[in-house]
Amino acid sequence: MEVVICSSAEQIGAHVADVYAEVLRGDDPVIGLATGSSPLVAYGELIRRHREDGLSFAHATAFLLDEYAGLARSHPESYHAVIRRELVDHVDIDPARVHSPDGEAHDLAEECRRYDAAIEAVGGVDVQLLGIGTDGHIGFNEPMSSLSSRTRPKTLTQQTREDNARFFDSIDDVPHHVLTQGLGTIRTAHHLLLVATGAGKADAVAAAVEGPLAARCPASILQLHPHATVFVDEAAASGLE
CB of 52 to ligand F6R, least distance (A): 26
Measured in whole angstroms, the distance separating CA 219 from the mean position of its chain's CA atoms is 11
Query: Residue 28 or 89: which CB sits closer to ligand F6R?
Result: 89
Query: Residue 66 or 126: which CB sits closer to ligand F6R?
Result: 66
**Catalytic residue list contains 169:** no
194, 219 in Cβ contact below 8 A? Answer: yes
Catalytic one of 15, 45, 66, 233: 66
Half-sphere exposure of 151 (CA within 13 A, CB side): 28
CA 31-210-229 angle, to 5 degrees, is 25
**Catalytic residue list contains 2:** no
197, 38 in Cβ contact below 8 A? Answer: yes
Span between the terminal Cα atoms of the chain, in Å: 15
Catalytic one of 45, 126, 142, 163: 142
Query: Residue 93 or 132: which CB sits closer to ligand F6R?
Result: 132
Helix (H) or strand (E) holding 203: helix 202-210
CB of 84 to ligand F6R, least distance (A): 14
Sign of CA dihedral 206, 187, 25, 34: negative
Rounded to the nearest 10 degrees, the angle between the axes of helix 9-24 and helix 40-53 is: 50
**Catalytic residue list contains 190:** no
Query: Residue 59 or 165: which CB sits closer to ligand F6R?
Result: 165
- Given the rule CB under 6 A, which residues bind ligand F6R? 34-38, 65-66, 131-133, 137-140
Query: Residue 34 or 230: which CB sits closer to ligand F6R?
Result: 34
CB of 159 to ligand F6R, least distance (A): 10
Catalytic one of 45, 116, 126, 135: 135
CB of 142 to ligand F6R, least distance (A): 10
CB-closest chain residue to ligand F6R: 131
Catalytic one of 50, 75, 137, 191: 137
**Catalytic residue list contains 28:** no
Residue 128: closest CA among 62, 41, 184:
62
Distances in Å between the alpha carbon of 200 and those of 1, 45, 217, 238? 22, 24, 15, 10
CB of 33 to ligand F6R, least distance (A): 8
Which residues are part of the catalytic machinery? 66, 135, 137, 142
